[in-house]
Amino acid sequence: MAETTLLTDVTIVNVETGQLFGPTSVLMRDGMLAEIGISIPAEDAAVVDGSGGFLIPGLWDSHVHIFSTADEPETALPLYLINGITGIRDMGALWPIQQQQDLQARIEAGEVPGPRLILSGAWVDAAPGSWPGMFLADTEAEARTVVEQVAEEGWAAVKSYSMLDEPTYLALAEAAAERTLPLVGHIPERVSLATALAAGHDGMEHFGRVTMACSTDEERMLDDLREAMAEGADLARVFEIMAARNRIILETWDDALCDRVLGAMVAEGMHVSPTLVVADFYTGNRPEPDAPRMRMIPAEVREAWGRPDFRLEAMTNDVRALADESIALDRHTFLMAHAAGVPILASSDASFANPYLFHGFSLLDELDLYVTIGLAPREALYTTTVAPPRFFGLVDQDGIIAPGRRADLVLLDANPLDGLDTLRRPRAVIAGGRLFDRDALDDFEAQLREAGE
């Protein structure tokens, strides 16, 4: 890899403003954007002809899980590059933090091709934990102890999870603030959205709790679960109560209330990682077995995806019957949230542990959903190029292509502001200054197909 690369004859797309600049050249040195201009001396640079392509900031997937198996990164990392994704935020893992940090360092050093990695998977749940490898806290004291450990281990954030009770969650939020760690993750199932806003919850994962907060019966739904869990309800009963919420939300969703809820979210700056594409798993919208993306997944993973899944088995007939209406209401509320100015972080929940949610591909599916729902292509791009690095507080990235920024870029054949189809086959992807042309990306695909046989 040349330390200095000059990319010529490109048009730069400013995703924030929608403006185009070019044709121009971009000089990259030591992983950073060094100079942009029409006539830049080549000197010792490797010169790459952009042939009139359109240059955008690299995409981010703000909610993934790449450490759910021992060798998942071997598949996940190239899949992200193939799809123009040069940054990911991991939200929960089975790997020890030291091993995650080691891979993070190797990517940064250029030893392993892959996207920039944010480690926000310090998920905290009530015992026994919803997934293996979680931090556990059932009291306020335990929540504070966990946050101390999270801070000492070097995680980027504290992630709250579904089964925390309200006092423990509030202690977690307070301790995270004291340690200046962002609080992200699920709003626990017994905590209202208003309470989370007051507690300083910075980033919410998944969109359903927004729609639920637009129901005039949100508090009653929370109370039903609080009472059942206080009485020692088993897991089946807990799932039953939560499943019953879909019908209640559909019957009590209120437009005026939703406006107030969304306004409060904007006022508090709460970001949302919607993962709307997850609905495809529950509705059976999945690719054919011989689809290209399926062929790039290891055979043992494909086999596991075909087995019965506890999440599908927990769905009641009522939930299935209401699925289309519930999804439509989520999407309507999402469009309202966008119009109100709620900050959106494009996200997929891709993981080998989440059947048919694909590293790389599912993020592009998510962006297509945003456009289908009503966002302009530029607005959808903003959620994946500009909003994430700003939310993560990255000093060298802000979604703008300018000198002094990290060289994470995607070169496209067509203007993505006219439509997102061009994202599906980038001409080149640049990650940390390292350029992967179309031949290199095709090689990644071929290697993954061979490994998947």
Measure the CA–CA gap between 99 and 279, rounded to whole angstroms.
Answer: 32
Residue range 347-356: mean pLDDT, rounded: 97
| CA 319 and chain centroid, separation | 25
pLDDT the model gives residue 316? 85
Nearest to residue 2, comparing CAs of 35, 46, 43? 46
In 3D space, the residue among 86, 58, 78, 115 whose CA is nearest the CA of residue 411 turns out to be: 58
pLDDT of residue 315: 85
Q: Say if residue 1's pLDDT is above 50.
A: no
* CB-side neighbour CA atoms (13 Å) of 337: 28
Cβ partners under 8 Å of residue 189, min gap 6: 162, 163, 222, 225, 242
Q: Which two tokens stand for residue 175?
A: 């301790």
Greater confidence (101 vs 312) lies with 101
Name the percent of the chain lying above pLDDT 70.
100
CA distance 67 to 59: 20
Taking the CA atoms of residue 349, residue 352, residue 354 and residue 356 in that order, the dihedral angle to the nearest 10 degrees is 90
The two structure tokens encoding residue 50:
């952009």
The answer to whether the CB of 138 falls within 8 A of the CB of 129 is no
Amino acid at 259: D
- Direct distance between the N- and C-terminal alpha carbons of the chain, in angstroms, rounded to an integer: 30
Predicted confidence (pLDDT) per residue in 279-320, tens digit: 998 898 999 999 999 999 999 999 999 998 888 888 888 889
Predicted pLDDT at 295:
97
CB atoms within 10 A of CB 120: 24
